[in-house]
Structure 1
Amino acid sequence: MVGCTELQPVGTKPFLHIGDLKILDLTYLENDGAVFSSFSGMRWFLVAVTAVMILACTYWLFRNRKHSKFLTLCLTLIIAGGNRKSD
């Protein structure tokens, strides 16, 4: 969280420079979509898709929970990841 508070006001901050050689700069960017900003600005679409997938996994989990412990574990982890709320 230090990076957010330090970088957000300035945008880019020099990090690793040797003389005039700029090796690494830190830049603050916000991603309001999915991976690589795909579906940017379509937050409610992403929320709806996540909700449908959680419901489908929950249904499948309760319907087929006696078949495979590994499948039960996988679906539980998918549901837990889908319920994660980011900042």
Structure 2
Amino acid sequence: MQMHNPPHPGEVIRELCLEPLGLSVTEAAEALGVSRKTLSAILNGRAGISPEMAIRLSIAFDTTAESWLTQQFQYELWYAEQRRKDLKVRKLVA
């Protein structure tokens, strides 16, 4: 079932993972083994969750990589659906 206007996974990371633990972006980036720039791009919705980042998040926050990738997929699909009417596609049905 498709969610209505799902949050970007970066918003989830910030609000449900970093803030409750009192972690700065720099501290979280170090713990995840990524640059501050990389994590900041995700937290600010400028980048998505890659499979590797999903694994990093799953290790750091004791979650599953699938849950992070599912969130990313739902976010991207919802936004793509908003542009459905603009797509120039012809039905190919027998």
TM above 0.5, yes or no, is no
Range of TM-score over shorter length = under 0.3
TM-score, normalised relative to structure 2? 0.26
User: Larger Rg: 1 or 2?
Assistant: 1
Greater relative CO (CA pairs within 8 A, separation 6+): 2
Q: Greater helix share, 1 or 2? A: 2
Q: Greater strand share, 1 or 2? A: 1
